[in-house]
Structure 1
């Protein structure tokens, strides 16, 4: 460890610390309750501060902290991942992406290597495309192709971020063959879907603190996802502006290249669900004394229990709790379990007409998407009378 030069006496440093024995490059900030900190320069050359210990830490602990800091290999995968997670680019990502990246990081850093140390302790500049491919193949061969695919996407992004900031010269994760992930294209049966919708309606009438209850908006979301062939995020972002005289104007979220909006014509069932959503919203806003926006596009059809906009993460949590409890109560079997997104697949499959009609109703531009979403069997004539 670097020897400290002789310091001038600082009366603000705690009395239990021998100032003459302090390690180099550590400083004390007396403001507030006090904190020990170090200074370093980031990849752009800008000086940054890092708090390392509270004021009451011992001198021995300060030496240990600085010993560890001086021994950090700034070229390892672990270090580059740490810096990526501290960056503004990472902080601007969605919480769900944070969870996925943290999981992938932990998988990669702890992979054992022939050198007797984990992958996270290897220098990123020595990574090759062949090494990355072996890592991906190894994870996939263990029976977890999905884990391998997530790890590859994370490693590709981290190394590109590191390459752009001088930590490595090339990104060896580019061009790597991704594993083939298992496709989970579940299609709930009509009976199971209707049973769960009825169950959600009954559970939604229970008090919030009553065991087994679920949000009142959940059966409404399920119905709209099925009838309008929408994803969960597309349901929670519907507003009064989507209510037209002809029907409901959809708001497909994939972009113009993959999907396009359409108008779902009113039926008695669809009108009843839409009116139920508005009635629930009115009760919630009145109870919470929520100011009602004037602009129709600012009035969401689906609102949370607090009266504000329902977040997709909150909907996902409510769905998982609901479906897990249904499994626990033996309402459905593990084989009958499905995701909220599968209601869109059920809706497309149940749409009347040929495959072209189903494609138009689903909003997909690519007819190949019907191989994923349409599980109906066409009825055809025999080859001859």
Structure 2
């Protein structure tokens, strides 16, 4: 085996790795092992993840030896990497690309029963039962044993990985990188319901907290992003996902309410104005004007291109920036005892809360959420139906 050159000691490398015996060409960064590959178009070398923190030194040497023998072509990892470089991948939204990269890392780094990585297995050797077992392990979790690292049960992640592999292998077949799709025919697992909807008192407590902390000077102790209170109000009242809040524009402002821009096949609707929604919209418009003027940014002429929510620098707020701001705020609220740790909720939980609090019959609730499927509506509407008892009096059935 090839021994690497003498390296400086890196305290971040896992303690079970003898750093003096690392093979050449493999590097550690951000809790994973990677190599450099030549760019197919002659650009800067590409960084490729090949293993994760629990990988053993012998596995790292095996990975390098396989690459030196040219046996990486046709492996699951190779097909995943080529898919990421494809035009089909680049046409996907930024959020989908991020999710697919996470699924690719999960699949390539999955440790098999013999201690090898799934990413190093040729696709030609994989069959439906093998991928089904991977999905089952990801869904149910496993305890650490020998070469096998412990895994927390994540049914949703298991299904995401399976769908990603199915699409990737289909792409690989079309481009001659593999001849079969071992994920075709794999059964999805039943996902646990993890909506994390806040109770009404928890929602109000969190809203009051961010309203108070949003008034503090930005980037000072105890401050939160100033737009968070308005985001919470719109997510709850208009029943929006986080991405749907960040992509609101002036074109969604109607005289009779706010028109939605729903994703995932849901129907748009117009939510009638209330005082909270008017406050949130007007505040965000004023904040946008002030931030854009402060940084000398031009104003878009078309209403559909004027994003409602901007960052401190006056640029359109991204979903990832909103997620980061929300996580900082929710952790701060838990540390300071505003909400209990078990009451922690996701920003998406505000849509669940808004749908659940909608008055009216099932049709009214479905119209408010925009969902086309009755099953999906029931996932978001958590209210317990109140029904009347049967009409037949007790005296008619032998009662006193």
Would you call these one fold, judging by a TM-score over 0.5?
A: yes
1:172 aligns with 2:179: no
1:89 is aligned to 2:88: yes
Alignment of 1:125-140 (within 5 A): 125-140=124-139
1:100-154 Cα deviation digits (max 9, x unpaired): 3344334333444466633333221121112222222233332333342233223
Residues 68 and 52 of structure 1: is their aligned pair in 2 closer, same or farther, counting only changes over 3 Å?
farther
Compared with structure 1, are the counterparts of its residues 163 and 341 closer, same or farther at alpha carbon in structure 2 (3 Å cutoff)? same
Question: Which residue of 202, 206, 226 maps to 2:236?
Answer: 226
Contact between 1:80 and 1:158, CA under 8 Å: does it hold in 2? Answer: yes
Match of 1:123 in 2: 122
1:251 matched to which residue of 2?
261
Q: Report the CA distance shift for 1:295/1:101 in structure 2 as closer, same or farther (over 3 A).
A: closer
Q: Which residue of 2 aligns with 1:72?
A: 70
| TM-score relative to the length of structure 2 | 0.74
The SS at the match of 2:254 is coil
Q: Return the offset for 1:39.
A: 8.9
Cα–Cα, structure 1 residues 77 and 324, in superposed 2: closer, same or farther, change >3 Å?
A: same
Match of 1:293 among 285, 288, 300: 300
Q: Determine if the alignment matches structure 1 residue 324 to structure 2 residue 331.
A: yes
**Structure 1 gap ranges (5+):** 1-36, 43-47, 54-65
1:29 is matched with: none
CA spacing shift, 1:283–1:87, aligned 2, 3 Å: same
Which residue, 135, 149, 161 being the options, matches 1:151? 161
Deviations 1:312-363 (A, max 9, x none): 1111111111112222222212221111111111111112222222222222
**Which of 193, 202, 222 is residue 203 of structure 2 equivalent to?**
193
> Could you say if the C-alpha distance between residues 163 and 249 of structure 1 is closer, same or farther in structure 2, counting changes exceeding 3 Å?
same
Contact 2:138–2:158 under 8 Å retained in 1? yes
How many residue pairs get aligned? The number is 328
2-side partners of 1:98 and 1:253: how far apart?
16
Q: For 1:195-214, list aligned pairs within 5 A.
A: 195-214=205-224
2:301 match: secondary structure: coil
In structure 2, the residue matched to 1:338 is 345
Q: What's the CA shift for 1:95?
A: 4.5
CA drift at 1:264:
1.6
Larger radius of gyration: 1
Q: What's the TM-score, normalizing by structure 1? A: 0.76
